[in-house]
């Protein structure tokens, strides 16, 4: 499937995005995880694009959307501005890790723009953190500083996907950042966390969770999150790490397309 690359002018940089698929079908927006780029979705875009309009972006501060510092509120606004640029009132959203956190903020502030959402191994923005989790966040930056840069990249890649092949596909994007940039992105991503007691997204949701995911508190909190949402299917993927979309693409694509079928005209 052919994708058209385009840019959206931002203050000091261009936000890069790629769009294609079925012009008159609902739009599905794909947002990648922290420190990588839109190539995370290469295997998925052609499958979804055969029946839907698809958009993948490089989040500000990552991929080609640089030079820019990452911050949650403007990154969310970038996605809203893309919808406006394309004259799309409502869309479907697929987000992995940080991408899912950005989508949670989008639906929190702009619920009218959302048809449904797919979350792949991301923490719950609106949870109540335990004292230990708050302490862990507080010491995260000095902990990052203890790791040599290459060790930090290698650990991140090994935690993300099972196969060396998939890890190496992500390495160029991750290693395009300095250690300071990686640390700044990871710390800025925690700005999405704000306890909202009783809040529900109240949209159709599909969640994927790798049962070997050791990233933050995702393995603990995603089932808790899924339990409070009235229209939510949670799939716990045996043998998967932080990226079921990369570890088990056939399962991921089958379940994703079954969910998206609900929104076909």
pLDDT digits (tens, 9 = 90+) for 15-60: 999 999 999 999 999 999 999 999 999 999 999 999 999 999 999 9
Q: Are 52 and 28 in contact (CB under 8 A)?
A: yes
Handedness of CA 152, 155, 159, 165 (dihedral sign): positive
Residue 143: the pLDDT is 83
Q: Check pLDDT > 90 for residue 142.
A: no
Look at strands 91-96 and 53-57 and give their pairing. unpaired
Q: Tell me the pLDDT band of 144, cut-offs 50, 70 and 90.
A: confident
Burial of 71 (0-12, 13-18, 19+ CB in 10 A): middle
pLDDT digits (tens, 9 = 90+) for 50-90: 999 999 999 999 999 999 999 999 999 999 999 999 999 99
Retrieve residue 80's tokens.
Answer: 């809203």
pLDDT digits (tens, 9 = 90+) for 175-197: 999 999 999 998 999 999 999 99
Give Cα separations from 244 to 2, 26, 34, 159, 252 (angstroms): 25, 24, 16, 12, 7
CATH number at residue 137: 3.40.50.1820
DSSP state of 215: S
Give Cα separations from 76 to 28, 31, 82, 119, 235 (angstroms): 16, 11, 10, 16, 26
pLDDT digits (tens, 9 = 90+) for 110-129: 999 999 999 999 999 999 99
Q: How many other C-beta atoms can be found within 10 angstroms of the C-beta atom of residue 106?
A: 24
**Residue percentage of the chain with pLDDT more than 70:** 100
Summary mean pLDDT of the chain: 95
Retrieve residue 130's tokens.
Answer: 């335990």
Q: Are 34 and 190 in contact (CB under 8 A)?
A: no
Range of the structural domain that residue 28 is part of: 3-263
Q: What gap in Å lies between CA 218 and CA 41, rounded to an integer?
A: 21
Torsional class of 216: left (φ above 0), alpha (ψ -120 to 50), beta (otherwise): left
**How many domains, in total, are found in the chain?**
1
pTM over 0.85: yes
């Amino acid at each position: 499937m052919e994708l058209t690359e385009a840019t959206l002018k931002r203050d000091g940089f261009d936000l890069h995005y790629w769009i294609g698929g079925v012009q008159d079908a609902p739009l599905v927006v794909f947002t990648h995880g922290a420190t990588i780029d839109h190539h995370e979705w290469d295997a998925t875009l052609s499958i979804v694009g055969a029946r839907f309009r698809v958009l993948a972006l490089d989040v500000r501060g990552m991929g080609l959307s640089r030079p820019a510092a990452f911050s949650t509120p403007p990154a969310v606004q970038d996605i809203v501005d893309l919808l406006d640029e394309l004259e799309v009132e409502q869309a479907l959203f697929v987000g992995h890790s940080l991408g899912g956190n950005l989508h949670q903020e989008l639906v929190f502030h702009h619920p009218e723009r959302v048809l449904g959402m797919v979350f792949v191994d991301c923490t719950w923005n609106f949870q109540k953190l335990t004292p230990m989790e708050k302490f862990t966040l507080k010491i995260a930056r000095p902990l990052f500083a203890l790791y040599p840069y290459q060790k930090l990249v290698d650990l991140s890649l090994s935690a993300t996907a099972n196969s060396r092949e998939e890890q190496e596909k992500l390495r160029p994007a991750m290693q395009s950042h300095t250690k300071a940039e990686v640390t700044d992105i990871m710390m800025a991503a925690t700005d999405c966390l704000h306890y909202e007691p009783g809040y529900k997204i109240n949209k159709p949701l599909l969640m994927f969770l790798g049962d070997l995911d050791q990233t933050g508190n995702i393995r603990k909190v995603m089932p808790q999150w899924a339990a409070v949402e009235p229209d939510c299917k949670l799939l716990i993927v045996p043998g998967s790490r932080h990226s079921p979309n990369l570890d088990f693409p056939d399962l991921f694509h089958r379940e994703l397309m079954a969910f998206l079928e609900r929104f076909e005209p």
